[in-house]
Structure 1
Amino acid sequence: MAPHDDWRERQESATVTVEGHELEVAYYDEGDGPDPPVLFVHGIPTWSFLWRDVAPAFAGDRRVIAPDLAGYGESSMYDGFDRSIRAQEAVLGALLDELGVDSCVLVGHDIGGGVGVRLAVNDPGRIEALVLSNATVYDSWPIEFIVDLGLPSTIRTMSVEECRETLSEAYRDTLHGDPTEAFVEGMCSQWDTEEAVVSLGRNAIATNTNHTTEIAYGEIEAETLLLWGTEDDEQPIEDAERLAEDLPNATLAPVENAGHWVPEDRSTEYRERLAAFLDS
Protein backbone atom coordinates (compact mmCIF):
# COMPACT_ATOMS: atom_id res chain seq x y z
CA MET A 1 0.00 0.00 0.00
CA ALA A 2 1.31 3.44 -0.94
CA PRO A 3 1.97 5.79 2.01
CA HIS A 4 -0.81 8.16 0.93
CA ASP A 5 -3.31 5.29 0.73
CA ASP A 6 -2.28 4.18 4.21
CA TRP A 7 -2.88 7.73 5.45
CA ARG A 8 -6.36 7.74 3.91
CA GLU A 9 -7.14 4.49 5.71
CA ARG A 10 -6.48 6.29 8.99
CA GLN A 11 -8.77 9.25 8.26
CA GLU A 12 -12.28 9.84 9.60
CA SER A 13 -14.94 12.23 8.34
CA ALA A 14 -17.38 14.76 9.79
CA THR A 15 -20.08 16.91 8.21
CA VAL A 16 -20.08 20.63 8.94
CA THR A 17 -22.28 23.42 7.62
CA VAL A 18 -20.60 26.67 6.60
CA GLU A 19 -22.49 29.52 4.96
CA GLY A 20 -25.32 27.16 4.04
CA HIS A 21 -23.07 24.54 2.46
CA GLU A 22 -22.81 21.03 3.87
CA LEU A 23 -19.16 19.99 3.69
CA GLU A 24 -17.53 16.66 4.43
CA VAL A 25 -14.26 17.25 6.24
CA ALA A 26 -11.77 14.40 6.40
CA TYR A 27 -9.34 14.35 9.29
CA TYR A 28 -6.71 12.28 11.08
CA ASP A 29 -7.48 12.01 14.80
CA GLU A 30 -5.37 9.88 17.09
CA GLY A 31 -4.03 9.90 20.61
CA ASP A 32 -5.34 10.90 23.98
CA GLY A 33 -3.55 12.99 26.54
CA PRO A 34 -3.52 16.25 28.40
CA ASP A 35 -5.29 19.19 26.88
CA PRO A 36 -4.93 21.00 24.65
CA PRO A 37 -4.96 18.84 21.51
CA VAL A 38 -2.62 19.74 18.65
CA LEU A 39 -4.26 20.73 15.36
CA PHE A 40 -2.05 20.46 12.26
CA VAL A 41 -3.27 22.56 9.31
CA HIS A 42 -1.82 22.26 5.79
CA GLY A 43 -1.77 24.79 2.96
CA ILE A 44 -2.13 24.94 -0.82
CA PRO A 45 -1.72 22.70 -2.79
CA THR A 46 -1.21 20.04 -0.12
CA TRP A 47 -3.45 18.04 2.25
CA SER A 48 -3.08 16.52 5.70
CA PHE A 49 -0.62 13.97 4.27
CA LEU A 50 1.92 16.79 4.63
CA TRP A 51 2.08 15.93 8.36
CA ARG A 52 2.55 12.16 7.98
CA ASP A 53 6.10 12.26 9.41
CA VAL A 54 5.28 14.78 12.15
CA ALA A 55 1.78 14.50 13.62
CA PRO A 56 1.70 10.76 14.50
CA ALA A 57 4.88 11.17 16.58
CA PHE A 58 2.85 13.16 19.12
CA ALA A 59 -0.18 10.84 19.33
CA GLY A 60 1.39 8.82 22.13
CA ASP A 61 1.22 11.78 24.52
CA ARG A 62 -1.70 13.92 23.37
CA ARG A 63 -4.62 14.11 20.99
CA VAL A 64 -3.51 14.99 17.46
CA ILE A 65 -5.87 16.20 14.72
CA ALA A 66 -4.91 16.88 11.11
CA PRO A 67 -7.82 17.86 8.83
CA ASP A 68 -8.02 18.23 5.08
CA LEU A 69 -9.21 21.76 4.40
CA ALA A 70 -12.41 22.12 2.38
CA GLY A 71 -11.58 21.51 -1.27
CA TYR A 72 -8.49 19.41 -0.53
CA GLY A 73 -7.58 15.77 0.06
CA GLU A 74 -10.58 13.65 1.06
CA SER A 75 -12.76 16.61 2.05
CA SER A 76 -15.58 17.94 -0.15
CA MET A 77 -14.41 19.07 -3.58
CA TYR A 78 -17.71 19.75 -5.33
CA ASP A 79 -17.93 23.12 -7.05
CA GLY A 80 -19.83 26.01 -5.50
CA PHE A 81 -18.47 26.90 -2.06
CA ASP A 82 -15.90 29.38 -0.77
CA ARG A 83 -12.38 28.06 -0.08
CA SER A 84 -10.75 31.32 1.05
CA ILE A 85 -8.76 31.62 4.26
CA ARG A 86 -11.76 33.35 5.82
CA ALA A 87 -14.00 30.42 4.85
CA GLN A 88 -11.44 27.84 6.02
CA GLU A 89 -11.37 29.63 9.37
CA ALA A 90 -15.09 28.93 9.66
CA VAL A 91 -14.64 25.32 8.51
CA LEU A 92 -12.01 24.64 11.18
CA GLY A 93 -14.10 26.30 13.87
CA ALA A 94 -17.09 24.14 12.92
CA LEU A 95 -14.94 21.00 12.84
CA LEU A 96 -13.50 21.70 16.29
CA ASP A 97 -17.05 22.19 17.60
CA GLU A 98 -18.06 18.87 16.04
CA LEU A 99 -15.07 17.13 17.67
CA GLY A 100 -15.69 18.72 21.06
CA VAL A 101 -12.43 20.69 21.06
CA ASP A 102 -12.72 23.96 22.97
CA SER A 103 -9.08 25.01 22.51
CA CYS A 104 -5.94 23.71 20.84
CA VAL A 105 -2.38 24.33 19.83
CA LEU A 106 -2.54 25.14 16.12
CA VAL A 107 0.40 24.21 13.91
CA GLY A 108 -0.07 25.85 10.53
CA HIS A 109 1.88 25.73 7.28
CA ASP A 110 1.31 28.00 4.27
CA ILE A 111 -2.37 29.06 4.21
CA GLY A 112 -2.89 26.86 7.26
CA GLY A 113 -0.78 29.43 9.08
CA GLY A 114 -2.94 32.20 7.66
CA VAL A 115 -6.01 30.45 9.03
CA GLY A 116 -4.21 30.12 12.36
CA VAL A 117 -3.47 33.81 12.74
CA ARG A 118 -7.07 34.68 11.87
CA LEU A 119 -8.37 32.30 14.54
CA ALA A 120 -5.87 33.66 17.06
CA VAL A 121 -7.26 37.17 16.52
CA ASN A 122 -10.94 36.43 16.00
CA ASP A 123 -11.38 33.55 18.45
CA PRO A 124 -8.44 33.89 20.86
CA GLY A 125 -9.90 31.48 23.42
CA ARG A 126 -9.72 28.75 20.81
CA ILE A 127 -5.93 29.03 20.29
CA GLU A 128 -3.76 28.33 23.35
CA ALA A 129 -0.53 28.42 21.36
CA LEU A 130 0.45 28.86 17.74
CA VAL A 131 3.19 27.42 15.53
CA LEU A 132 3.64 29.09 12.14
CA SER A 133 5.77 27.55 9.41
CA ASN A 134 6.38 29.45 6.16
CA ALA A 135 2.90 30.83 6.54
CA THR A 136 0.96 33.12 4.24
CA VAL A 137 0.90 36.35 6.21
CA TYR A 138 0.80 40.07 5.48
CA ASP A 139 0.90 40.53 1.68
CA SER A 140 3.36 37.75 0.86
CA TRP A 141 0.83 35.87 -1.24
CA PRO A 142 -0.62 34.64 -3.53
CA ILE A 143 2.33 33.72 -5.73
CA GLU A 144 2.08 33.84 -9.52
CA PHE A 145 2.01 30.04 -9.90
CA ILE A 146 -1.05 29.73 -7.67
CA VAL A 147 -2.84 32.66 -9.31
CA ASP A 148 -2.31 31.10 -12.74
CA LEU A 149 -3.80 27.80 -11.52
CA GLY A 150 -6.96 29.68 -10.53
CA LEU A 151 -7.60 31.44 -13.81
CA PRO A 152 -10.82 30.24 -15.50
CA SER A 153 -8.89 29.72 -18.73
CA THR A 154 -6.55 27.36 -16.91
CA ILE A 155 -9.31 25.45 -15.13
CA ARG A 156 -11.30 24.92 -18.34
CA THR A 157 -8.39 23.62 -20.39
CA MET A 158 -6.19 21.69 -17.93
CA SER A 159 -6.57 17.92 -18.06
CA VAL A 160 -5.99 15.59 -15.13
CA GLU A 161 -2.73 14.48 -16.71
CA GLU A 162 -1.55 18.07 -17.27
CA CYS A 163 -2.47 18.95 -13.69
CA ARG A 164 -0.46 16.04 -12.31
CA GLU A 165 2.55 16.94 -14.48
CA THR A 166 2.41 20.62 -13.48
CA LEU A 167 2.14 19.91 -9.78
CA SER A 168 4.70 17.11 -9.79
CA GLU A 169 7.23 19.49 -11.31
CA ALA A 170 6.31 22.23 -8.84
CA TYR A 171 6.69 19.96 -5.80
CA ARG A 172 10.05 18.66 -7.04
CA ASP A 173 11.38 22.13 -7.80
CA THR A 174 10.48 23.54 -4.40
CA LEU A 175 11.62 20.70 -2.14
CA HIS A 176 15.02 21.41 -0.63
CA GLY A 177 17.45 18.75 -1.77
CA ASP A 178 16.38 15.45 -3.34
CA PRO A 179 12.59 15.12 -3.58
CA THR A 180 10.89 12.32 -1.69
CA GLU A 181 8.82 10.26 -4.13
CA ALA A 182 6.29 9.42 -1.40
CA PHE A 183 5.70 13.15 -0.88
CA VAL A 184 5.36 13.99 -4.58
CA GLU A 185 3.10 11.05 -5.37
CA GLY A 186 1.04 11.56 -2.24
CA MET A 187 0.44 15.22 -2.96
CA CYS A 188 -0.43 14.62 -6.62
CA SER A 189 -2.81 11.77 -5.77
CA GLN A 190 -5.52 14.13 -4.48
CA TRP A 191 -5.87 15.85 -7.86
CA ASP A 192 -6.52 12.73 -9.97
CA THR A 193 -10.10 13.49 -11.10
CA GLU A 194 -11.72 16.22 -13.17
CA GLU A 195 -13.67 17.38 -10.11
CA ALA A 196 -10.39 17.65 -8.21
CA VAL A 197 -8.75 19.72 -10.95
CA VAL A 198 -11.64 22.20 -10.79
CA SER A 199 -11.38 22.18 -7.00
CA LEU A 200 -7.68 23.00 -7.19
CA GLY A 201 -8.48 25.95 -9.43
CA ARG A 202 -11.19 27.19 -7.08
CA ASN A 203 -8.80 26.83 -4.13
CA ALA A 204 -6.20 28.82 -6.02
CA ILE A 205 -8.50 31.67 -7.06
CA ALA A 206 -9.72 31.96 -3.45
CA THR A 207 -6.29 33.13 -2.27
CA ASN A 208 -7.15 36.64 -1.09
CA THR A 209 -4.39 38.92 0.19
CA ASN A 210 -6.93 41.03 2.08
CA HIS A 211 -7.63 38.15 4.45
CA THR A 212 -4.16 38.46 5.95
CA THR A 213 -3.54 42.18 5.51
CA GLU A 214 -6.65 43.00 7.56
CA ILE A 215 -5.37 41.13 10.62
CA ALA A 216 -4.30 43.06 13.73
CA TYR A 217 -1.18 40.99 14.36
CA GLY A 218 -0.33 42.85 17.54
CA GLU A 219 -3.50 41.46 19.14
CA ILE A 220 -2.29 37.85 18.93
CA GLU A 221 -1.52 37.02 22.56
CA ALA A 222 -0.96 33.28 22.13
CA GLU A 223 2.57 32.08 22.63
CA THR A 224 3.88 31.59 19.10
CA LEU A 225 6.76 29.61 17.65
CA LEU A 226 7.93 30.69 14.18
CA LEU A 227 9.38 27.39 12.96
CA TRP A 228 10.41 28.65 9.55
CA GLY A 229 12.50 27.24 6.68
CA THR A 230 15.17 29.76 5.74
CA GLU A 231 15.42 28.90 2.01
CA ASP A 232 11.91 29.91 0.93
CA ASP A 233 11.71 32.56 -1.79
CA GLU A 234 7.93 32.95 -1.58
CA GLN A 235 7.28 33.11 2.19
CA PRO A 236 10.76 34.27 3.16
CA ILE A 237 12.39 34.31 6.57
CA GLU A 238 11.98 38.10 6.57
CA ASP A 239 8.24 37.55 7.08
CA ALA A 240 9.00 35.48 10.17
CA GLU A 241 11.33 38.21 11.43
CA ARG A 242 8.53 40.75 10.97
CA LEU A 243 6.11 38.48 12.83
CA ALA A 244 8.61 38.17 15.67
CA GLU A 245 8.50 41.95 16.03
CA ASP A 246 4.73 42.32 15.66
CA LEU A 247 3.51 39.44 17.85
CA PRO A 248 3.99 40.12 21.57
CA ASN A 249 4.77 36.48 22.49
CA ALA A 250 6.58 35.14 19.42
CA THR A 251 9.88 33.27 19.23
CA LEU A 252 11.78 33.05 15.95
CA ALA A 253 13.12 29.55 15.25
CA PRO A 254 14.78 29.41 11.80
CA VAL A 255 15.24 25.96 10.27
CA GLU A 256 18.38 25.98 8.14
CA ASN A 257 18.61 24.04 4.88
CA ALA A 258 14.84 23.93 4.58
CA GLY A 259 12.63 25.58 2.00
CA HIS A 260 8.90 26.13 1.85
CA TRP A 261 8.05 22.51 2.69
CA VAL A 262 9.86 22.63 6.01
CA PRO A 263 7.91 19.75 7.67
CA GLU A 264 9.00 17.57 4.74
CA ASP A 265 12.50 18.97 4.22
CA ARG A 266 13.53 18.64 7.86
CA SER A 267 10.93 16.39 9.47
CA THR A 268 13.20 15.09 12.27
CA GLU A 269 14.35 18.55 13.32
CA TYR A 270 10.79 19.82 12.95
CA ARG A 271 9.47 17.14 15.31
CA GLU A 272 12.21 17.78 17.86
CA ARG A 273 11.75 21.52 17.97
CA LEU A 274 7.97 21.26 18.03
CA ALA A 275 8.21 18.74 20.90
CA ALA A 276 10.39 21.11 22.90
CA PHE A 277 7.86 23.91 22.35
CA LEU A 278 4.91 21.73 23.40
CA ASP A 279 6.74 20.49 26.48
CA SER A 280 7.45 24.06 27.53
Structure 2
Amino acid sequence: MQPPHYIRIGTPGMPKVVFGHGWGRSHRDFIPVAEALAPSIDAYLFDLPGHGKSERPEDAWGTVEYAEYMARYIVGDLGISKCVWVGHSFGGRVGLRLGVQSPGMLDHLVIVAGAGVPRNVTTKERWKRKWNGRKFQRLKAQAKTEDDLIALEKKFGSPDYVMSRETGMRDIFVATISEDQSADLPRIPTETTLIYGSADTETPPEIGKKIAALVPNSTYVECPHYDHISILDRGRHQIALAIKEAVTIPGEAA
Protein backbone atom coordinates (compact mmCIF):
# COMPACT_ATOMS: atom_id res chain seq x y z
CA MET A 1 0.00 0.00 0.00
CA GLN A 2 1.35 3.40 -1.00
CA PRO A 3 1.86 6.09 1.67
CA PRO A 4 -1.14 8.38 2.10
CA HIS A 5 -1.25 11.58 0.09
CA TYR A 6 -0.92 14.82 2.03
CA ILE A 7 0.02 18.44 1.57
CA ARG A 8 1.93 20.58 4.02
CA ILE A 9 1.02 24.17 4.83
CA GLY A 10 2.57 26.46 7.41
CA THR A 11 5.84 27.15 9.11
CA PRO A 12 8.43 24.46 9.94
CA GLY A 13 9.34 24.47 13.62
CA MET A 14 5.85 25.52 14.69
CA PRO A 15 3.44 23.13 16.44
CA LYS A 16 2.36 20.20 14.29
CA VAL A 17 -1.33 20.01 13.38
CA VAL A 18 -2.70 17.03 11.44
CA PHE A 19 -6.02 17.26 9.60
CA GLY A 20 -8.32 14.33 8.74
CA HIS A 21 -11.34 14.94 6.51
CA GLY A 22 -14.83 13.45 6.36
CA TRP A 23 -16.14 10.47 4.41
CA GLY A 24 -15.83 10.84 0.65
CA ARG A 25 -14.01 14.15 0.93
CA SER A 26 -10.34 15.18 0.88
CA HIS A 27 -7.62 17.34 2.40
CA ARG A 28 -9.04 20.34 0.51
CA ASP A 29 -11.71 20.87 3.15
CA PHE A 30 -9.12 22.16 5.62
CA ILE A 31 -6.96 24.31 3.33
CA PRO A 32 -8.65 27.61 4.39
CA VAL A 33 -8.07 26.91 8.10
CA ALA A 34 -4.48 25.79 7.57
CA GLU A 35 -3.68 28.82 5.42
CA ALA A 36 -5.20 31.21 7.97
CA LEU A 37 -2.99 29.72 10.69
CA ALA A 38 0.08 29.18 8.51
CA PRO A 39 2.36 31.60 10.42
CA SER A 40 1.79 29.79 13.71
CA ILE A 41 1.40 26.08 12.83
CA ASP A 42 3.02 23.38 10.70
CA ALA A 43 0.00 21.65 9.13
CA TYR A 44 -0.28 18.25 7.45
CA LEU A 45 -3.51 17.81 5.49
CA PHE A 46 -4.14 14.16 4.63
CA ASP A 47 -6.27 12.26 2.18
CA LEU A 48 -7.21 9.32 4.38
CA PRO A 49 -6.72 5.88 2.77
CA GLY A 50 -9.36 5.26 0.11
CA HIS A 51 -10.18 8.95 -0.30
CA GLY A 52 -8.82 11.71 -2.50
CA LYS A 53 -5.47 10.66 -3.94
CA SER A 54 -4.72 7.99 -1.31
CA GLU A 55 -4.87 4.31 -2.15
CA ARG A 56 -7.62 2.33 -0.45
CA PRO A 57 -6.74 -0.41 2.05
CA GLU A 58 -6.77 -3.97 0.74
CA ASP A 59 -9.06 -5.08 3.56
CA ALA A 60 -12.30 -3.68 4.98
CA TRP A 61 -10.75 -1.45 7.63
CA GLY A 62 -12.65 -0.07 10.57
CA THR A 63 -11.60 3.05 12.45
CA VAL A 64 -9.32 0.95 14.67
CA GLU A 65 -7.21 0.04 11.64
CA TYR A 66 -7.36 3.59 10.26
CA ALA A 67 -6.08 4.98 13.57
CA GLU A 68 -3.32 2.38 13.82
CA TYR A 69 -2.16 3.14 10.27
CA MET A 70 -2.23 6.92 10.67
CA ALA A 71 -0.39 6.80 14.01
CA ARG A 72 2.27 4.54 12.55
CA TYR A 73 2.75 6.81 9.53
CA ILE A 74 2.69 10.10 11.44
CA VAL A 75 5.10 8.99 14.16
CA GLY A 76 7.20 6.41 12.33
CA ASP A 77 7.45 7.80 8.80
CA LEU A 78 7.06 11.54 9.35
CA GLY A 79 8.83 11.59 12.72
CA ILE A 80 6.09 13.66 14.38
CA SER A 81 6.13 12.79 18.06
CA LYS A 82 3.38 15.22 19.12
CA CYS A 83 0.54 16.85 17.22
CA VAL A 84 -2.94 18.27 17.38
CA TRP A 85 -5.40 16.09 15.45
CA VAL A 86 -8.28 17.93 13.75
CA GLY A 87 -10.91 15.62 12.31
CA HIS A 88 -14.19 16.29 10.55
CA SER A 89 -16.95 13.64 10.55
CA PHE A 90 -15.14 10.38 9.60
CA GLY A 91 -11.84 12.04 10.46
CA GLY A 92 -13.39 12.72 13.86
CA ARG A 93 -14.17 9.02 14.30
CA VAL A 94 -10.52 8.24 13.54
CA GLY A 95 -9.38 10.98 15.92
CA LEU A 96 -11.39 9.52 18.80
CA ARG A 97 -9.78 6.14 18.14
CA LEU A 98 -6.35 7.80 18.22
CA GLY A 99 -7.29 9.29 21.57
CA VAL A 100 -7.72 5.78 22.96
CA GLN A 101 -5.04 3.88 21.04
CA SER A 102 -2.23 6.47 20.68
CA PRO A 103 -2.74 9.22 23.28
CA GLY A 104 1.01 9.76 23.60
CA MET A 105 1.17 11.37 20.16
CA LEU A 106 -1.62 13.86 20.83
CA ASP A 107 -1.40 17.31 22.35
CA HIS A 108 -5.08 17.97 21.69
CA LEU A 109 -8.07 16.65 19.76
CA VAL A 110 -10.38 18.92 17.78
CA ILE A 111 -13.41 16.94 16.65
CA VAL A 112 -15.63 18.72 14.11
CA ALA A 113 -19.08 17.16 13.57
CA GLY A 114 -17.61 13.79 14.49
CA ALA A 115 -19.63 10.61 14.91
CA GLY A 116 -18.80 7.47 16.87
CA VAL A 117 -21.79 7.04 19.18
CA PRO A 118 -25.37 6.07 18.25
CA ARG A 119 -28.13 8.60 17.86
CA ASN A 120 -31.24 8.52 19.98
CA VAL A 121 -33.91 6.65 18.03
CA THR A 122 -37.59 6.59 18.96
CA THR A 123 -39.56 3.36 18.81
CA LYS A 124 -41.42 4.72 15.78
CA GLU A 125 -38.16 5.54 13.97
CA ARG A 126 -36.74 2.12 14.85
CA TRP A 127 -39.74 0.32 13.36
CA LYS A 128 -39.65 2.56 10.28
CA ARG A 129 -35.98 1.71 9.69
CA LYS A 130 -36.66 -1.99 10.13
CA TRP A 131 -39.62 -1.85 7.75
CA ASN A 132 -37.63 0.09 5.13
CA GLY A 133 -34.74 -2.33 5.50
CA ARG A 134 -36.95 -5.34 4.90
CA LYS A 135 -38.60 -3.63 1.92
CA PHE A 136 -35.20 -2.79 0.46
CA GLN A 137 -33.98 -6.37 0.83
CA ARG A 138 -37.15 -7.71 -0.81
CA LEU A 139 -36.91 -5.34 -3.76
CA LYS A 140 -33.17 -5.92 -4.01
CA ALA A 141 -33.77 -9.66 -4.47
CA GLN A 142 -36.15 -8.82 -7.32
CA ALA A 143 -33.79 -6.39 -9.09
CA LYS A 144 -32.91 -7.69 -12.55
CA THR A 145 -30.13 -5.28 -13.51
CA GLU A 146 -27.41 -3.28 -11.81
CA ASP A 147 -29.26 -0.11 -12.80
CA ASP A 148 -32.30 -1.36 -10.90
CA LEU A 149 -30.13 -2.00 -7.85
CA ILE A 150 -28.51 1.44 -8.02
CA ALA A 151 -31.94 3.08 -8.29
CA LEU A 152 -33.06 1.21 -5.15
CA GLU A 153 -29.94 2.26 -3.25
CA LYS A 154 -30.54 5.89 -4.17
CA LYS A 155 -34.13 5.60 -2.91
CA PHE A 156 -33.39 3.84 0.37
CA GLY A 157 -29.73 4.63 1.15
CA SER A 158 -27.85 7.69 2.34
CA PRO A 159 -25.76 9.72 -0.14
CA ASP A 160 -22.55 8.34 1.41
CA TYR A 161 -23.86 4.76 1.07
CA VAL A 162 -24.70 5.35 -2.59
CA MET A 163 -21.32 6.98 -3.27
CA SER A 164 -19.45 4.12 -1.58
CA ARG A 165 -20.42 1.85 -4.49
CA GLU A 166 -18.98 4.29 -7.03
CA THR A 167 -15.71 4.67 -5.11
CA GLY A 168 -15.30 0.96 -4.32
CA MET A 169 -15.45 1.68 -0.58
CA ARG A 170 -18.77 -0.01 0.30
CA ASP A 171 -17.21 -2.65 2.56
CA ILE A 172 -15.25 -0.05 4.55
CA PHE A 173 -18.25 2.27 4.77
CA VAL A 174 -20.42 -0.51 6.20
CA ALA A 175 -17.64 -1.52 8.62
CA THR A 176 -17.19 1.99 10.02
CA ILE A 177 -20.66 3.52 9.98
CA SER A 178 -22.07 1.06 12.51
CA GLU A 179 -19.26 1.36 15.05
CA ASP A 180 -20.11 2.45 18.58
CA GLN A 181 -17.13 3.88 20.47
CA SER A 182 -19.10 4.72 23.62
CA ALA A 183 -17.35 2.19 25.85
CA ASP A 184 -13.88 3.44 24.86
CA LEU A 185 -14.37 7.22 25.01
CA PRO A 186 -13.94 7.52 28.81
CA ARG A 187 -10.38 6.23 28.30
CA ILE A 188 -9.31 9.29 26.27
CA PRO A 189 -6.94 11.36 28.44
CA THR A 190 -6.32 14.04 25.81
CA GLU A 191 -7.92 17.45 26.09
CA THR A 192 -10.65 17.49 23.44
CA THR A 193 -12.65 20.26 21.78
CA LEU A 194 -15.93 19.19 20.16
CA ILE A 195 -17.47 21.52 17.55
CA TYR A 196 -20.95 20.86 16.16
CA GLY A 197 -23.47 22.76 14.04
CA SER A 198 -26.98 23.25 15.37
CA ALA A 199 -28.44 22.59 11.89
CA ASP A 200 -26.43 19.41 11.26
CA THR A 201 -28.75 16.47 10.50
CA GLU A 202 -25.94 13.94 9.81
CA THR A 203 -24.13 14.31 13.14
CA PRO A 204 -26.54 16.49 15.13
CA PRO A 205 -25.69 18.24 18.40
CA GLU A 206 -27.01 15.29 20.42
CA ILE A 207 -24.02 13.28 19.12
CA GLY A 208 -21.53 15.92 20.23
CA LYS A 209 -23.16 16.22 23.65
CA LYS A 210 -23.05 12.45 24.12
CA ILE A 211 -19.35 12.37 23.24
CA ALA A 212 -18.67 15.34 25.53
CA ALA A 213 -20.35 13.51 28.41
CA LEU A 214 -18.10 10.49 27.85
CA VAL A 215 -14.70 12.11 27.15
CA PRO A 216 -13.36 13.27 30.55
CA ASN A 217 -11.40 16.36 29.51
CA SER A 218 -13.64 17.78 26.81
CA THR A 219 -15.26 21.08 25.83
CA TYR A 220 -18.42 21.22 23.71
CA VAL A 221 -18.99 24.11 21.30
CA GLU A 222 -22.19 24.51 19.27
CA CYS A 223 -22.33 26.84 16.25
CA PRO A 224 -25.81 28.19 15.43
CA HIS A 225 -27.22 27.60 11.93
CA TYR A 226 -24.28 25.54 10.60
CA ASP A 227 -24.86 22.13 9.01
CA HIS A 228 -22.50 19.21 8.38
CA ILE A 229 -20.58 20.95 5.60
CA SER A 230 -21.00 24.65 6.34
CA ILE A 231 -19.31 24.03 9.70
CA LEU A 232 -16.12 23.70 7.61
CA ASP A 233 -16.40 26.99 5.72
CA ARG A 234 -18.65 29.37 7.65
CA GLY A 235 -17.44 27.75 10.86
CA ARG A 236 -13.75 27.76 9.97
CA HIS A 237 -13.05 30.63 12.35
CA GLN A 238 -14.30 28.53 15.28
CA ILE A 239 -12.10 25.64 14.18
CA ALA A 240 -9.11 27.98 13.85
CA LEU A 241 -9.78 29.38 17.32
CA ALA A 242 -9.84 25.89 18.84
CA ILE A 243 -6.50 25.10 17.21
CA LYS A 244 -4.93 28.39 18.34
CA GLU A 245 -6.02 27.67 21.90
CA ALA A 246 -4.61 24.14 21.70
CA VAL A 247 -1.09 24.94 20.50
CA THR A 248 1.82 26.55 22.30
CA ILE A 249 3.92 28.76 20.05
CA PRO A 250 7.68 28.39 20.67
CA GLY A 251 8.89 31.33 22.73
CA GLU A 252 5.45 32.10 24.12
CA ALA A 253 4.20 31.27 27.59
CA ALA A 254 2.02 28.18 27.78
Amino acid at match of 1:256: P
Shift in CA distance, 253/88, structure 1 to aligned 2, threshold 3 Å: same
8 A Cα contact 1:23 1:70, kept in partner: no
8 A Cα contact 1:70 1:76, kept in partner: yes
Is 1:131 aligned to residue 106 of structure 2? no
In 1, Cα distance between equivalents of 2:167 and 2:184: 33
Amino acid at match of 2:232: P
In 2, Cα distance between equivalents of 1:37 and 1:46: 22
**Equivalent residue, structure 2, for 1:210:** 179
**Equivalent residue, structure 1, for 2:78:** 99
**Equivalent residue, structure 2, for 1:56:** 35
For each residue in 1:65-117, what CA deviation from the matched residue of structure 2 results, as whole angstroms up to 9, or x when unmatched?
1111110000014x733342122112211220211111211111111111111
Match of 2:60, SS?
A: coil
Unaligned stretches of 5+ in structure 1? Answer: 1-21, 172-190
8 A Cα contact 1:130 1:225, kept in partner: yes
8 A Cα contact 1:121 1:217, kept in partner: yes
Is 1:222 aligned to residue 187 of structure 2? no
**Equivalent residue, structure 2, for 1:267:** 236
Match of 2:111, SS?
A: strand
Shift in CA distance, 56/253, structure 1 to aligned 2, threshold 3 Å: same
**Equivalent residue, structure 2, for 1:84:** 62
Q: Which one is further off, 127-136 or 243-252?
A: 243-252
8 A Cα contact 1:86 1:211, kept in partner: no
For each residue in 1:162-190, what CA deviation from the matched residue of structure 2 results, as whole angstroms up to 9, or x when unmatched?
9xx99xx959xxxxxxxxxxxxxxxxxxx
In 2, Cα distance between equivalents of 1:87 and 1:69: 12
Is 1:241 aligned to residue 209 of structure 2? yes
Is 1:256 aligned to residue 238 of structure 2? no
Shift in CA distance, 42/157, structure 1 to aligned 2, threshold 3 Å: farther
8 A Cα contact 2:205 2:222, kept in partner: yes
Shift in CA distance, 269/124, structure 1 to aligned 2, threshold 3 Å: closer
In 2, Cα distance between equivalents of 1:67 and 1:211: 24
In 2, Cα distance between equivalents of 1:89 and 1:30: 22
8 A Cα contact 1:70 1:91, kept in partner: no
Is 1:197 aligned to residue 161 of structure 2? no
Match of 2:227, SS?
A: coil
Q: Which one is further off, 236-245 or 128-137?
A: 236-245
How many residue pairs are counted as aligned between the two chains?
A: 222
In 2, Cα distance between equivalents of 1:82 and 1:101: 27
For each residue in 1:224-273, what CA deviation from the matched residue of structure 2 results, as whole angstroms up to 9, or x when unmatched?
11121111122111122222222221111111111112113422343344
Q: Percent identity at matched positions?
A: 23
Give 1 or 2 for the bigger CA radius of gyration: 2
In 1, Cα distance between equivalents of 2:225 and 2:100: 31
Shift of 1:197: 2.4
Using structure 1 for the length normalisation, give the TM-score.
0.67
Amino acid at match of 2:113: N
Q: Which one is further off, 32-41 or 63-72?
A: 32-41
In 1, Cα distance between equivalents of 2:225 and 2:201: 13
Shift of 1:211: 5.5
Shift of 1:44: 0.6
